[in-house]
């Protein structure tokens, strides 16, 4: 994804809220605490600086992309299983 597109598609926290149906789903934010090894934080900070967003934003973006891919993959597998059933 282009850096400018990344910034334009991001909300204040860096990631649009998207439901599994692909529509925006504004929900109340919930706080979580995650421990990361130092090398991972250094890599996250380097990428966040390169793109021009915060560490939190890059984490949210990458998680959102992964979850969207997992949802797509699940739906594709389900179609195959239903078709073979």
Tens of pLDDT, residues 22-41: 555 677 889 999 999 999 99
Taking alpha carbons only, the member of 20, 3, 2, 15 closest to residue 56 is 15
Residues 6+ apart with CB under 8 A from 63: 15
In the chain, pLDDT over 90 holds for what percent of residues? 46
Give the single-character DSSP code of 23.
Answer: S
pTM: 0.55
What is the secondary structure of 36-56 as a DSSP string? --HHHHHHHHHHHHHHTS-HH
> At residue 62, does pLDDT exceed 90?
yes
Residue 17 or residue 31, greater confidence? 31
Q: Where are the domains of the chain?
A: 3-27+36-84
């Amino acid at each position: 994804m282009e850096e400018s597109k990344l910034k334009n598609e991001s909300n204040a926290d860096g990631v649009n809220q998207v439901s599994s149906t692909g529509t925006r789903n504004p929900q109340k934010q919930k706080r979580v605490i995650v421990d990361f090894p130092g090398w991972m934080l250094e890599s996250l900070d380097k990428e966040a600086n390169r793109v021009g967003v915060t560490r939190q934003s890059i984490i949210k973006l990458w998680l959102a992309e992964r979850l969207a891919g997992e949802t797509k993959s699940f739906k594709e597998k389900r179609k195959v299983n239903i078709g073979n059933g």
